[in-house]
Amino acid sequence: MKHIFVINPNAGQGKILDFIKPQIEEVCKKNSLEYEFYITKEKNDGLNYVKKRAKTGEELRFYACGGDGTLYEVVNGAYGNKNVQVAVIPLGSGNDFIRLFGTKEDYMNLDDVVNGVPVELDLIKCDDEIAINQCSMGMDAEVCAMQGKIKKLPLVTGEGAYYIGCLYALLRKFHNKFTIKIDDDEAYTKDCLFCFCGNSRWYGGGFMAAPLAQPDDGLLDFVVVEASVSRLKLATLLNKYKRGEHLDWDITNFKRGKKLVIHSDVPAAVNVDGEIKYVTDTSFEIVEKGMTYVVPAKSKFLKEREERLAKM
């Protein structure tokens, strides 16, 4: 198997390339790996490169070396190719997907990453895009759009940018009239803050939107939060939402399922693993065992997964 490191040179505010490349070379030589580097040049360059290489049929492992945006590109390029595995070296400001498998510091033990355990994970299909972590529509996606702009500013963390984006959305994007249908349930129309679909648990720089989600259980976690409280009240709930304490709120509708279809009378923001588009109709649908993801060798997730599967 060939190990290909797809590096976003703009990660870590553009200071990461000289830091990470020697470390990767050292660990690959230590483990006698056949390896290559690919340095991305512009948006979607990584996606197109991974897609082209994946089509060759070679046994390949792509490492997304950057933030959540780099992972999005590698996942979408690799999707549909059984000869490909995906791994992560987290170099961005958010790195939300990896939280279920370990800390950023855990992942920077590169020996554990290259010797990680391949695990089949589910994915989310949103129209012609693929998410490995989450999708959302409404105010939350507007927060993500604003966060992407703000976190480019000096000294602003991913979490800080998310809070600033929340304040903007509270003022400007509070009400969203959505018609929602989950699996074979009857469709319903609600004034919503947002509709969230989680394959894993965290997003937005550490907000636990789907605290019960498991990315390998064949189900997605759908969280619909209604806009039936005041802005002031919602602002006081933000930290509880961050801690994942929102599933039993009166304004929260929580259900696990396979597919959610959503309609808005006016174009609304949709967030697909941090990538934003505006649509009136979309769907979030599971792709079971859609990708082989490499979990670091010492991750607690591996033992927890083994125990979970033994109970099934």
Report the candidate in 163, 198, 164 with the shortest Cα–Cα distance to residue 273. 198
Query: At which residue do the structure tokens 């969280």 appear?
Result: 223
Please give the pLDDT value at position 41. 94
Q: Where are the domains of the chain?
A: 2-116+296-310, 131-288
Output Rg (C-alpha) for the chain, integer angstroms: 19
Its pTM surpasses 0.85: yes
Report the candidate in 208, 243, 94 with the shortest Cα–Cα distance to residue 160. 94
Class assignment of domain 131-288?
A: mainly beta
Judge whether residue 304 has pLDDT over 80: yes
Question: Model confidence over 117-127: pLDDT tens digits?
Answer: 999 999 999 99
- Listed in sequence order, the residues at least 6 apart from 198 whose beta carbon sits closer than 8 Å to its beta carbon are 133, 134, 209, 210, 213, 220, 221, 222, 223
Q: Which CATH number is 2-116+296-310's, of 3.40.50.300, 3.40.50.10330, 3.30.70.60, 3.40.1350.10? A: 3.40.50.10330
Give rounded-to-5 percent helix, strand, coil for the chain.
Answer: 35, 35, 30
- Listed in sequence order, the residues at least 6 apart from 130 whose beta carbon sits closer than 8 Å to its beta carbon are 75, 76, 79, 123, 124, 272, 287, 290
Exposed/middle/buried for residue 310 (C-beta within 10 Å: 0-12, 13-18, 19+) = exposed
What is the pLDDT averaged over residues 301-307?
Answer: 94
Q: Map residue 223 onto helix, strand or coil.
A: strand
Question: Model confidence over 18-62: pLDDT tens digits?
Answer: 889 999 999 999 999 999 999 999 999 999 999 999 999 999 999
Question: Model confidence over 135-194: pLDDT tens digits?
Answer: 999 888 887 777 766 666 666 666 667 677 777 777 666 789 999 999 999 999 999 999
| Residue percentage of the chain with pLDDT more than 70 | 92
Top pLDDT among 164 and 105 is at: 105
What is the pLDDT averaged over residues 58-82?
Answer: 96
Judge whether residue 222 has pLDDT over 70: yes
Whether 231 and 170 have beta carbons less than 8 Å apart is answered as: yes
